[in-house]
Structure 1
Amino acid sequence: MKVFFFKAIRILVLVSLVNFVITCKKVEKQEATEQRFQKDDIVKVNVKPGLVVRDQSSLSAKKISEIPFETVVQIVSCKEKFEDILGLVGPWCEIKFSDQKGWVFSPFLKSEYSRELAFHISYGKAIREFPPSEPAPIENKLILYRISIQGHDIGKLQFVLDEKMGKGSLSTCTYWSGPPHTEESSQRSCEIEEVKYKRDKDSLIINGESYRWDGRFKGFIPLDEKDDWKEIFAQAFEGKKHPNGEYMSWVLDEDSCRFYEGDSYGGAQANYLCEKKGYDNSCLCFVK
């Protein structure tokens, strides 16, 4: 009786595990095949040199046109069925362009204001076209900026690293970015302090904090593990969707030397050091 009881338990556990694995795989598949575009969405072509438009939702269908890279089109409808083409998975979508309609493979489209990197086709696969990585700056006098935005409170940091003199300084300029021409918005608070730094090609250490150059956006990213840069890059450059929706995806804001998630004011942000950006004439402690 005991032997039968234990065998029954083992069978139940095994069945439960199998069901759990199947359920997980179903959830995985559902997440991977989530519809990306909706009717009337405005999108752009995101493959170079252009995207083939067909009269039906099939690779064997008649080609009716080819739309150049970054052309703006409108979604008419999308199929529910997902297909695997050139290593990408997604549905065919009917689009409207130049008073015409036709079908395209939707993974080669991107949202109108997305900063996703473009695709190109190589040896039967769709490959992200990463821009050539620009080398780290090698000037003897390196001026770097970092900007922090917390609601209306703006903090601008200027690092001046002089390898010839062997000195470094940090100027911090803070102000409130409320309504213009008010007493609060016109006031600047400036502080200057010395910093210790060490530079080795693409690596930089300032006051014990490590940074590494990344040529994709011409900046030094901090290596303090506060931010998941791999995930940030995947969402900002590779079109990876945020679990809470595309609106929450990380976006690169080159003007303020940062990536932000969701709202540019008050949302999560990942700051980096950028070269010769962020100079503010009203910050009297800043070096030109």
Structure 2
Amino acid sequence: MKTFLFKVISIFVFVSTVASIIDCKKVEKQETEKRSFQSGDIVKVNVKPGLAVRDQPSLGAKKISEISFDTTIQILNCAERIEEILGLSGPWCEIKFLDQKGWVFSPFLKSEYSRELAFKISYGKAIRELPLPEPAPISDRLVLYRMSVQGHDIGIIQFVLDEKSEKGKMNSCRYWSGPPNTEESSRRYCDSSDASYKRNKNELSIDGKQYKWDGRFKGFISLDDNYDWKEIFAQAFDGKPHPEGDYNSWTLEESNCRFFEGDPYGGAEASFLCEKLGFDASCQCFEK
């Protein structure tokens, strides 16, 4: 009886292991397919200082040229075989650049408008070139902004925090982002109110809401939100896909203070305060 039970358990463990391996292979294949490029795709070189172009889809093939980082190229077709080079896995793709054709290793490419961080080669491995973290602003007078979009209504909040006088002010400006040069889009609704705040180096509290400086995002991140900032950082900069699809990934707009997930109109927004961006001269209540 004991021998029979042992055999049953052994078979069950074996089957479970095989199933687990198959599932892992499925996930690996799905991730590969998710990152694959199609014929006609416009992509950019995403490795510094540049990407080698070869006459055949092989690392041992003849190098015919090198394309500089961030150069735009076109995909002609991609090989089916998946290779692992410098710690990255993916197929070789034939590309066209100007009047030249050749093969490149596709993991070193990114979609044309992707915000992925660039790769660099270090000690025989490809690693992401993380942005240099910026220190928290040290000025006694902080001017921070937060942007929010709800439908076609855009709201910008300006916090003016003066540590010497220990006074805080919140200026709120709202307008409609419809067609330009119309009465609705030109009108600004502006109001101001006092704001209580405390600051201790990298930590900030405004009206009881807690923030902490994050040098990677170059802004103050809300500690009251239930967001996994490590995961968001990976999605916004490392090119890591969102579990529910790339459409839902986090995006940090470089032109203002907005940090959102998914749809720019109505998507989830992070409570994120940044310095220097967000000023709108047409908001009469804003201070410089």
TM above 0.5, one fold? yes
Structure 2 distance, partners of 1:223, 1:180, is 37
Which residue of structure 1 aligns with residue 114 of structure 2? 114
Which residue of structure 1 aligns with residue 145 of structure 2? 145
Unmatched segments (≥5 aa) in structure 1: none
Structure 1 distance, partners of 2:32, 2:176, is 44
Return the offset for 1:277. Answer: 1.7
Which residue of structure 1 aligns with residue 13 of structure 2? 14
Which residue of structure 2 aligns with residue 170 of structure 1? 170
Which residue of structure 1 aligns with residue 30 of structure 2? 31
Does the Cα contact within 8 Å between 1:257 and 1:271 map onto a contact in 2? no
Q: Describe the SS at the equivalent of 2:134.
A: coil
Instruction: Kindly provide the amino acid, as one letter, of the partner of residue 68 in structure 2.
Output: P
Say if 2:236 is the partner of 1:236.
yes
Return the offset for 1:264. Answer: 1.9
Structure 2 distance, partners of 1:14, 1:203, is 51
Return the offset for 1:39. Answer: 0.7
Counting only pairs closer than 5 Å after superposition, residues 202-241 of structure 1 correspond to structure 2 as: 202-241=202-241
Which residue of structure 1 aligns with residue 94 of structure 2? 94
Say if 2:89 is the partner of 1:62.
no
Q: Describe the SS at the equivalent of 1:27.
A: helix
Instruction: Kindly provide the amino acid, as one letter, of the partner of residue 50 in structure 2.
Output: G
Structure 2 distance, partners of 1:185, 1:70, is 36
Please tell me the root mean square deviation across aligned C-alpha atoms, in Å: 2.2
Distance 1:49 1:4, change over 3 A: closer
Structure 2 distance, partners of 1:72, 1:183, is 40
Structure 1 distance, partners of 2:225, 2:89, is 32
Which deviates further from its counterpart, 183-192 or 268-277?
Answer: 183-192
Instruction: Kindly provide the amino acid, as one letter, of the partner of residue 31 in structure 1.
Output: Q
Which deviates further from its counterpart, 53-62 or 222-231?
Answer: 222-231
Which deviates further from its counterpart, 180-189 or 117-126?
Answer: 180-189
Calculate percent identity across the aligned residue pairs: 63
Structure 1 distance, partners of 2:129, 2:9, is 51
> What per-residue deviation string (whole Å, max 9, x for no partner) do you get for residues 119-169 of structure 1?
111110112112222221111110000000011111110101101111111
Which residue of structure 1 aligns with residue 201 of structure 2? 201
Instruction: Kindly provide the amino acid, as one letter, of the partner of residue 206 in structure 1.
Output: I
Which residue of structure 1 aligns with residue 49 of structure 2? 49
Which deviates further from its counterpart, 9-18 or 213-222?
Answer: 9-18
Structure 1 distance, partners of 2:17, 2:116, is 38
Instruction: Kindly provide the amino acid, as one letter, of the partner of residue 30 in structure 1.
Output: K
Instruction: Kindly provide the amino acid, as one letter, of the partner of residue 165 in structure 1.
Output: S
Q: Describe the SS at the equivalent of 1:89.
A: strand
Structure 2 distance, partners of 1:107, 1:85, is 9
Does the Cα contact within 8 Å between 1:217 and 1:254 map onto a contact in 2? no
Structure 1 distance, partners of 2:98, 2:178, is 43
Return the offset for 1:9. Answer: 6.2
Return the offset for 1:33. Answer: 2.4
Paired residues in the alignment total 287
Q: Describe the SS at the equivalent of 1:255.
A: coil
Say if 2:259 is the partner of 1:259.
yes
Which residue of structure 2 aligns with residue 158 of structure 1? 158
Structure 1 distance, partners of 2:48, 2:14, is 49
Structure 1 distance, partners of 2:179, 2:31, is 45
Return the offset for 1:182. Answer: 4.1
Unmatched segments (≥5 aa) in structure 2: none
Which residue of structure 2 aligns with residue 103 of structure 1? 103
Q: Describe the SS at the equivalent of 1:254.
A: coil
